[in-house]
C-alpha cells in the first residue's frame, strides 16, 4: 500500500494555552505504511512495504522466507514451495501465540525454540504428589512449554518443545527434585512448537509398562549396559553392516547382533545398517515372557546383542525383559539414535529419523531449522514403488487412516490418500488447519461444505482432464498437430 502522510498541529498547555497566557504549539508529520494482504490458494501471503521494516522473516515450517525491498519474486517462489510441501505432507510447526514461532533467526529478539527429550528411571514413592509438584511449578513460572510429561512409580519420561530457556529451566528444576539429580536432557533446534498442547499426567512411561508394571526397570543391574556413541560406532563396524546374520567372525568370536526396538514404520524412515525390520507396529506388541524377540529363538544367550531406539528409554526398559529370558551380554545406545547422530554423525545410518511430534521426521543432522532438501526414507513409495520421502502420511480417507510413505509425485496426485480408491471416499480430511493439525474425526460429516467443495473441485479437474484427452485423441485421428504447451516462467516452477 502507498505511504500516507498526515500533518497535524497540536496545542499543549491546557487552559492556559487556550486563553493565550501560555502553552506552546508544535507540528509533527507521521508516515504510515500498511502491510498488504492477499489470499492465494487458501494461504495468506504477506508483503511488507519500506518504511515499516526493511526485511521481515517469516518462518513457515522448514522454509524461511525473506520479504522486503527487491525480494518479492524470491518470496513468491519460496512461498509457493512451502504451500506445496505443507498441503502434501502435513509437516507444519505449531506457532506460539504472539511470537514468530521460529528458532530465533527472525528479526528482533525472538526466542530460540527447541525440542527436548529426557527420561529418568527411579522409584517414585508418591507419583500423585510428584505430579502436583510439576503442575505447580509449570503454573507458577508460566513457561511456554508444550508436549508430553508422563510421571509414574518408575520415574519420568518427557518430550517437550518451546523456547530453549523455558525448557532448560524446567529440566533444571526437575534435577532439584529428590532422586532426579542425575537426570540428563538434550535439546535439538526446531522452528517452533512441535506439539499442540502440554499434557502432564500420571501414566506408564512407555506402553509396555501398562501391562508389565512389575519389571525391575529402576534397578540398573537388571538393565543392559549403556555404551557411548563412540563405542557404539566401533561395535557397529564389528557387526559388519547388512551381513550380520553369520554370528561369528573369522577368529570364531561371536559378532554382535543388532536389533531395532522401535516400530516397523520407524524403521521404514531410517535405521542402522545391519538391523532387520521389526515386526511390531506398536511397542506394546514386543514379545515378552517365554516368547523372545523376533529372530532370537536360536541365538546363543552369550552372544552380544546391541539394542537401540530413538531416545533410549524403550530399549532400556525392554532389556529387563531380555535379561529375564537369559540373554547376558546386552548393550544399549546411551541417549539413543539422537545422541549418536549428534556425536558421531550419520555413518552407519540410513535414511531420516522418525520422531513422535508434528515434524514426524528429521534429517540426520537433527536441525529442523535448516531448509536443506527433502527427507529421504529407506522404504519405497507404498503406491508406485519409487523412492519415497519422509515424513509418513495418514491416508486422507478418514475411514482408512493408513500410515504410509509416498513419493513427491504421488502425494499431490492422490490428494494425500494411500490409493486411488480412497480418493473417491465420502469423508476426506480437510486441508491442513491451524498449527498443522487436522480437525477431530468426529467433526467430519458427509454434508460438510468443505467436503462438498473438495468433491466438486475433484470432479471438475477430472472433467477437464477427460476433455483434454478427448481433444487430443480427436486431433490425432484427424492428423491435426496441436500447439506445444506453453512453458511457464521459471520462478513459478517448483
CA 255 – CA 249 distance, rounded (Å): 6
Tell me if residue 309 is catalytic: yes
Residues 6 or more apart from 462 whose CB is under 8 A from it?
Answer: none
CA 318 – CA 305 distance, rounded (Å): 12
Strand-pair category, 330-333 with 305-308: parallel
Residues 6 or more apart from 68 whose CB is under 8 A from it?
Answer: 48, 50, 53, 54, 55, 56
Measuring CA to CA, how many Å separate 477 from each of 34, 390, 428, 480, 483? 57, 44, 39, 8, 16
CA 149 – CA 177 distance, rounded (Å): 15
What's the sign of the alpha-carbon dihedral 337, 315, 355, 259? positive
**Among 309, 315, 407, 418, the one annotated catalytic:** 309
CB 4 within 8 A of CB 31: yes
CA 470 – CA 132 distance, rounded (Å): 69
Catalytic residues: 309
Amino acid at each position: 500500500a502507498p505511504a500516507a502522510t498526515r500533518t497535524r498541529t497540536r496545542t499543549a498547555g491546557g487552559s492556559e494555552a487556550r486563553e493565550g497566557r501560555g502553552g506552546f504549539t508544535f507540528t509533527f508529520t507521521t508516515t504510515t505504511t500498511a502491510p498488504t494482504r492477499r489470499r492465494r490458494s487458501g494461504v495468506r501471503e504477506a508483503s511488507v512495504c519500506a518504511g515499516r521494516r526493511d526485511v521481515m522473516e517469516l518462518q513457515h515450517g522448514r522454509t524461511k522466507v525473506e520479504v522486503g525491498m527487491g525480494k518479492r519474486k524470491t518470496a513468491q517462489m519460496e512461498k509457493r514451495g512451502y504451500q506445496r510441501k505443507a498441503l502434501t505432507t502435513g509437516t507444519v510447526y505449531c506457532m506460539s501465540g504472539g511470537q514468530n514461532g521460529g528458532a530465533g533467526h527472525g528479526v528482533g529478539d525472538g526466542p530460540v525454540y527447541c525440542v527436548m527429550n529426557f527420561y529418568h528411571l527411579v522409584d517414585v514413592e508418591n507419583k500423585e504428589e510428584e505430579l502436583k509438584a510439576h503442575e505447580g511449578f509449570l503454573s507458577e513460572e508460566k513457561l511456554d512449554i508444550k508436549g508430553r510429561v508422563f510421571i509414574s512409580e518408575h520415574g519420568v519420561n518427557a518430550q517437550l518443545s518451546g523456547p530453549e530457556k523455558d525448557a532448560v529451566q524446567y529440566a533444571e528444576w526437575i534435577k532439584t527434585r529428590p532422586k532426579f539429580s542425575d537426570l540428563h536432557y538434550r535439546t535439538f533446534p526446531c522452528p517452533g512448537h512441535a506439539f499442540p498442547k502440554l499434557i502432564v499426567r500420571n501414566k506408564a512411561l512407555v506402553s509396555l509398562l501398562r501391562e508389565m508394571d512389575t519389571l525391575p526397570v529402576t534397578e540398573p543391574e537388571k538393565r543392559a549396559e549403556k555404551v557411548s556413541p563412540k563405542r557404539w560406532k566401533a561395535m557397529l563396524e564389528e557387526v559388519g553392516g547388512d551381513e550380520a546374520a553369520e554370528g561369528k567372525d573369522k577368529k570364531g568370536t561371536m559378532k554382535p547382533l543388532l536389533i531395532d526396538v522401535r516400530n516397523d514404520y520407524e524403521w521404514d524412515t531410517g535405521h542402522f545398517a545391519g538391523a532387520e525390520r521389526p515386526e511390531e507396529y506398536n511397542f506394546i506388541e514386543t514379545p515378552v515372557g517365554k516368547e523372545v524377540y523376533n529372530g532370537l529363538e536360536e541365538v546363543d544367550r552369550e552372544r552380544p546383542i546391541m539394542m537401540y531406539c530413538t531416545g533410549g528409554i524403550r530399549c532400556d526398559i525392554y532389556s529387563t525383559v531380555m535379561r529375564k529370558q537369559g540373554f547376558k551380554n546386552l548393550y544399549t545406545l546411551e541417549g539413543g539414535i539422537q545422541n549418536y547422530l549428534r556425536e558421531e554423525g550419520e555413518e552407519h545410518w540410513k535414511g531420516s529419523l522418525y520422531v513422535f511430534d508434528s515434524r514426524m521426521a528429521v534429517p540426520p543432522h537433527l536441525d529442523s531449522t535448516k531448509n536443506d532438501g527433502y527427507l529421504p526414507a529407506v522404504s519405497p513409495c507404498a503406491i508406485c514403488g519409487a523412492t519415497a520421502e519422509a515424513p509418513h502420511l495418514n491416508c486422507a480417507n478418514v475411514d482408512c487412516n493408513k500410515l504410509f510413505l509416498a513419493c513427491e509425485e504421488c502425494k499431490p496426485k492422490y490428494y494425500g490418500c494411500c490409493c486411488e480408491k480412497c480418493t473417491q471416499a465420502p469423508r476426506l480430511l480437510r486441508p491442513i488447519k491451524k498449527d498443522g493439525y487436522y480437525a477431530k474425526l468426529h467433526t467430519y460429516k458427509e454434508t460438510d461444505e468443505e467436503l462438498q467443495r473438495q468433491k466438486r473441485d475433484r470432479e471438475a479437474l477430472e472433467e477437464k482432464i477427460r476433455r483434454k484427452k478427448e481433444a487430443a485423441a480427436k486431433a490425432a485421428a484427424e492428423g491435426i498437430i496441436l500447439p506445444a504447451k506453453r512453458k511457464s516462467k521459471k520462478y513459478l516452477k517448483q
